[in-house]
């Protein structure tokens, strides 16, 4: 299979597309359970489509450009999980093909091939999380498209538009997923390697990067929500809080093979570095990509299998370098087939008999089918807590979507300003039900009686229903 994709004939592209569809589409059509991340994206898009303004009427740390995309999807398709997952596959396919095109057009390897795209698709399909239409996936798309403007040796005055475009695309990537802003450091290194005037080029790159943020600040200025934009998006994303969404052992089960392959490929590339200066510079640049991707992973606050997306371009490049420089087909062909088989097994491990090696605890990633979450349906709900499962059959009614941000207000119940702010935010669109997972309702009823005394507890549970 490796030897077959060492060319760029149209027939091989068609086979590559069929292979990509064969790997990804069955799981998408299998109606895999809804994930909590997808539920949150849908709720956010739903709120914004109803006329809410991000950071003012919806408290969430999702970057603005990604939020706009979810808003448009809700306007056109509503809560359609199939559309979300098919679109995620389309985006991943475009990323792989664009990266493949960049590497071929710029002579990064000694011969043109579809191997970068092949490896990108295989390693980008190893787990169901890669079917999620995440802000990271959006941002990575802009990041990959920016590579072409950074690795072309520039001449004085002739590359000004390219450098501005590169910075602009990185700015759009950060507006989708803020930690991708760190790849601006990688872009500066690319200028050192390839630019004619590194200082002047850096200014052009920086201007391009700041332009999307200038537009965003202008919008939020007129929306009177710049302080919240700074606090909820620009500041909150850099806390040292890190949460594992998968247990460490399960995360190792999913990513052990890709990480080992990447490590071996990097080691092979360092030992067998290319002799051409341009190719050597690109190899060094991709080594820095791995470093910056690691920093972005740590800055993302949540670590799961989806974090591997950051390393996909590096895995595709170093893997292609490994297979092209190895002339022993009797080794590389079986090696790749074993690699492909392992990726497919990991992706469809839920269909295998439960064993210590195949069983994965993904409860923190999926919406739970608990009966208590279906007790309330088709209503406007406020959840005091970080349990999004209650929104599966309901809509969010207040700005307090992200509890990590919302509790900053609910911690100020001993202040007049805190009480005023909570009352103002909830009274605008009073929810039909309040789910109190943190035990705040008694205090809220006591301190804001005109609003919260309208709610009575349903039975002995944590659900309060508005009765008047």
What was the pLDDT predicted at 17? Answer: 94
Residue 284 has pLDDT above 90, yes or no: yes
Distance, CA of 5 to chain centre: 29
Euclidean distance between CA atoms 171 and 152, whole angstroms: 20
Residue 153 has pLDDT above 70, yes or no: no
Task: For strands 380-384 and 433-436, give the pairing.
Answer: parallel
Residue whose structure tokens are 């698709």: 121
DSSP bridge pairs for 281: none
Euclidean distance between CA atoms 65 and 71, whole angstroms: 10
Residue 110 has pLDDT above 70, yes or no: yes
What was the pLDDT predicted at 64? Answer: 95
**Closest of 438, 442, 447 to residue 414, by C-alpha:** 447
Euclidean distance between CA atoms 235 and 174, whole angstroms: 13
| Residue 456 tokens, joined | 């009575």
- When pLDDT is cut at 50, 70 and 90, the band that residue 327 belongs to is low
What was the pLDDT predicted at 159? Answer: 64
| Mean pLDDT on 47-57 | 93
- For the chain, what is the radius of gyration of the CA atoms? 24
């Amino acid at each position: 299979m490796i030897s077959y994709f060492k060319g760029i004939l149209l027939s091989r592209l068609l086979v590559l597309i069929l292979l990509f569809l064969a790997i990804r589409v069955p799981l998408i059509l299998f109606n895999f359970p809804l994930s909590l991340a997808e539920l949150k994206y849908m709720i956010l898009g739903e709120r914004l489509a109803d006329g809410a303004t991000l950071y003012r009427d919806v408290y969430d740390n999702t970057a603005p450009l990604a939020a706009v995309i979810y808003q448009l999807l809700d306007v056109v398709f509503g809560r359609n999980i199939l559309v979300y997952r098919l679109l995620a596959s389309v985006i991943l396919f475009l990323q792989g093909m664009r990266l493949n095109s960049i590497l071929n057009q710029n002579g990064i390897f000694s011969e043109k091939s579809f191997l970068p795209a092949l490896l990108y698709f295989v390693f980008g399909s190893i787990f169901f999380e890669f079917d999620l239409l995440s802000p990271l996936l959006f941002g990575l798309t802009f990041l990959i498209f920016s590579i072409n403007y950074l690795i072309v040796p520039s001449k004085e005055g002739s590359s000004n538009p390219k450098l501005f475009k590169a910075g602009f695309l990185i700015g759009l990537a950060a507006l989708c997923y803020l930690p991708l802003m760190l790849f601006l450091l990688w872009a500066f290194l690319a200028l050192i390697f390839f630019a004619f005037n590194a200082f002047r080029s850096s200014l052009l790159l920086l201007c391009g990067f700041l332009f999307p943020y200038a537009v965003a600040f202008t919008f939020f200025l007129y929306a009177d929500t710049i302080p919240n934009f700074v606090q909820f998006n620009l500041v909150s994303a850099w806390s040292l809080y890190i949460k594992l969404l998968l247990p460490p052992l399960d995360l190792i089960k999913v990513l052990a093979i890709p990480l080992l392959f990447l490590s071996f490929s990097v080691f092979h590339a360092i030992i067998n570095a290319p002799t051409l200066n341009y190719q050597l510079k690109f190899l060094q640049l991709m080594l820095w990509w791995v470093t910056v991707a690691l920093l972005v992973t740590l800055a993302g606050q949540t670590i799961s299998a989806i974090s591997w997306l950051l390393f996909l371009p590096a895995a595709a490049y170093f893997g292609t370098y490994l297979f092209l420089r190895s002339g022993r087909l009797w080794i590389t062909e079986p090696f790749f087939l074993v690699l492909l088989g392992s990726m497919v097994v990991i992706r469809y491990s839920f269909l295998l008999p439960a064993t210590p090696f195949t069983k994965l605890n993904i409860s923190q990633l999926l919406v739970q089918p608990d009966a208590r979450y279906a007790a309330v349906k088709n209503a406007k709900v406020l959840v005091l807590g970080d349990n999004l499962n209650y929104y599966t059959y309901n809509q969010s009614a207040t700005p307090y979507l992200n509890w990590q941000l919302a509790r900053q207000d609910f911690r100020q119940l001993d202040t007049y300003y805190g009480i005023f702010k909570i009352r103002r935010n909830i009274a605008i669109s009073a929810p039909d039900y309040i789910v109190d997972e943190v035990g705040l309702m008694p205090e809220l009823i006591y301190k804001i009686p005109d609003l919260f005394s309208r709610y009575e507890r349903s039975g002995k549970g944590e659900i309060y229903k508005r009765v008047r």
